[in-house]
Every structure is written in C-alpha cells, then in structure tokens.
C-alpha cells in the first residue's frame, strides 16, 4: 500500500469531523446595523417623530392664539402698514415652525439608546421576532400587547421569556426616553424659538 493510500482514510475521517463541527456551529448573528434598521422600521420611529412634531406645532399655535387674544382690541385696529407687518411676522412664524426634525438623525438617536445594553446576538433575536406577524404587531404598538390576538399574545409571552425578550422592555424604554429628550431639544431650537420671536415682533408692532 502506498503512503497516499494509507493516509486517505485518515484524511476522509478528518474532513468528516470538520464537516460535522461546521454543521453544528450556529450561524453568526446578523450585522448590528441591519438588526437596528429592521427595528427602527418595526417600531415605526418616523411616525413617533411626526406625531411629536404635530403635537408641538399645535401647542405653539395655542400659545400664539392665547397671546393674540390678549391683544385682541389692538389687532382689530391695525393700520394697513401694521397689518402688512403683522401678516409678514405670522408667515415667518409658520415657516420656521414647520421645520421638521431630521428623521435620519432621530432614527440614529433611538437606535443608539435601544442597542446600548444589547449584544449583536440579542439584537438579532429581537429583530427576528419583529419580522414575525406577532412581533410586527407588538412593536408597531409600542411594545403594548393590547389589541393582539390570543395566538399573538402567546407568541409575545414566549418571546418575553427568552434572554433577548427579557431585555427588550428596558431597551424600548431607554430608546423612547432618548428620542423624547432629543425631540424636545429640536422643538426648543425651532418651534419654541419661532413662537418667542413672533410674540416679540407682535409686542413691538403694537407698542407694548
């Protein structure tokens, strides 16, 4: 028997062992950014931003209306020049207040806070659950099981018992808190500032 023929069974055995080891090795988790992108979509972070902007703009308009109510009589007796200045100030306020937050930056703020205490594997498991019907409904509802079907609630409960599922609520709370703080900063830099400028122009216009 040649040396090659003698070594062949050993080599085949080694390859078989390596193949079995590869087959039993779990696949690596998906890339961190891919999991986060999926979760940003599942939680519908952009809708959170839009709702906040709508609420902030409505509150700014209410503040303006309350202030203008105090000037009611004076506003009814504006000269044509004052009326033009008043309308120009109003247009500037509306234009400035409508400046929406950058949704890409908002997504980043939310994702960084969500992922802060999660491993790649845990993020992957949460994203995997988000891709299911039950997970999609659960996360789209802000992590609230209200309104889910009985089967979906069972799936949510099963997921909540996993290591990743146990960490999910804290990640959700951290992300929501970080996003609210960031949105408040954006509002202060746009809507609140626009309202202050508008009321200042109004006082100057009316001689207060």
From 100, 125, 144, 156, select the one nearest 39 (Cα to Cα). Answer: 125
- Per-residue model confidence as pLDDT tens digits over 118-176: 999 999 999 999 999 999 999 988 888 888 899 999 999 999 999 999 999 999 999 99
Sorted by sequence, the CB contacts under 8 Å of residue 115 that are 6+ apart come out as 32, 36, 123, 171
* Its pTM surpasses 0.85: no
HSE, CB side, 13 Å, CA atoms: give it for residue 89: 20
CA gyration radius for the chain?
29
Rounded CA-CA distance 122/167 in Å is: 8
- Per-residue model confidence as pLDDT tens digits over 29-64: 678 899 999 999 999 999 999 888 888 888 778 877
- Per-residue model confidence as pLDDT tens digits over 74-89: 888 888 898 899 889 8
From 185, 33, 178, select the one nearest 110 (Cα to Cα). Answer: 178
């Amino acid at each position: 028997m040649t040396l090659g023929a003698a070594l062949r069974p050993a080599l085949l055995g080694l390859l078989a062992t390596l193949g079995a080891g590869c087959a039993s090795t779990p696949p690596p988790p998906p890339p961190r950014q891919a999991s986060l992108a999926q979760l940003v979509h599942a939680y519908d972070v952009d809708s959170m931003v839009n709702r906040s902007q709508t609420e902030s703009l409505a509150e700014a308009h209410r503040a303006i209306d309350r202030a203008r109510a105090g000037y009611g009589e004076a506003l009814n007796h504006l000269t044509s020049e004052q009326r033009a200045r008043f309308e120009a100030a109003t247009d500037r306020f509306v234009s400035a207040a409508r400046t929406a937050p950058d949704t890409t930056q908002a997504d980043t703020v939310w994702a960084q806070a969500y992922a802060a205490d999660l491993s790649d594997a845990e993020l992957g498991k949460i994203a995997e659950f988000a891709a299911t019907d039950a997970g999609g409904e659960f996360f789209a509802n802000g992590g609230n099981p209200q309104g889910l079907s009985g089967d979906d609630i069972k799936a949510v409960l099963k997921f909540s018992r996993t290591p990743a599922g146990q960490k999910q609520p804290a990640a959700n709370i951290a992300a929501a808190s970080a996003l609210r703080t960031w949105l408040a900063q954006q509002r202060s830099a746009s809507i609140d500032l626009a309202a202050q400028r508008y009321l200042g122009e109004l006082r100057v216009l009316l001689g207060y």
